[in-house]
Amino acid sequence: WMTIRQYMTYTQAFYPTWDTAYADSLVSQFTLDTSQKIKNLSRGQRAKVGLLMALAYKPDLLLFDEPSSGLDPVVRRDMLGAIVRTIAEEGRTVMLSSHLLDEVERVADTIVMIHEGRIILSDAMEQIRADFHKFTLRLEAAAETPPALPGMLSCEGGPLEWSMVCKQDINQLKHAATDMNAQIVDLANPTLDDIFVANVKREHRT
């Protein structure tokens, strides 16, 4: 039965650290009409109201479990932008659980990947970008089985070109490729999706 404004006033009473100016800026940023009743809001609008309430009293630690699941791209962008600003401008700690790894990649500085209840990767995002490489290995002679490169997590294609994701120093990979009369081409940083899939494939092989 409450309007957004009434809900804000109600919630504010429980938090001495509530920042009214910041809350109003989030209302504007999320283009919310505070005279609307919450029961009449769309799913995306309700998600924005929930995020507003979580951010406005400025807690030291924020926990988000699939915050943008099922929301349209515009709402997801707005919510992610608010979370990014919270981290960048205010230095607060945010723990985010999500299956949308492209979103995680944009905001996280530390990554923990879990598959079937087990941690398969835990590291700083900067280190992950340095350690993992995605590329095509171009051979001079056809190979029916994947060439063995150090740190290889996944390999597809053949017989002359193999798409790979490896966790290894790039110079060592280039030396190994040279030793087998091959070239590394189309070198790029894999996405978190690429890395997750590659790690899961490795788990299934072992």
Domains of the chain, by residue range, sit at 4-108, 126-205
Our answer to whether residue 66 is catalytic in this structure is yes
State whether the Cα torsion 112-123-87-80 is positive or negative.
Answer: negative
CATH of domain 4-108: 3.40.50.300
Q: Write the burial class of residue 67 (CB in 10 Å: 0-12 exposed, 13-18 middle, 19+ buried).
A: buried
Q: Which CATH class is domain 126-205?
A: alpha beta
Catalytic residue among 66, 140, 156, 203: 66
pLDDT score recorded for residue 201: 83
Element (H, E) at 113: strand 110-115
C-beta neighbour count of 206 within 10 angstroms: 4
**Nearest Cα to 199, choosing from 122, 127, 102, 89?**
122
What are the per-10-residue average pLDDT scores of the chain (206 residues)? 95 96 93 96 92 92 84 82 78 86 87 93 95 96 90 93 95 94 94 93 73
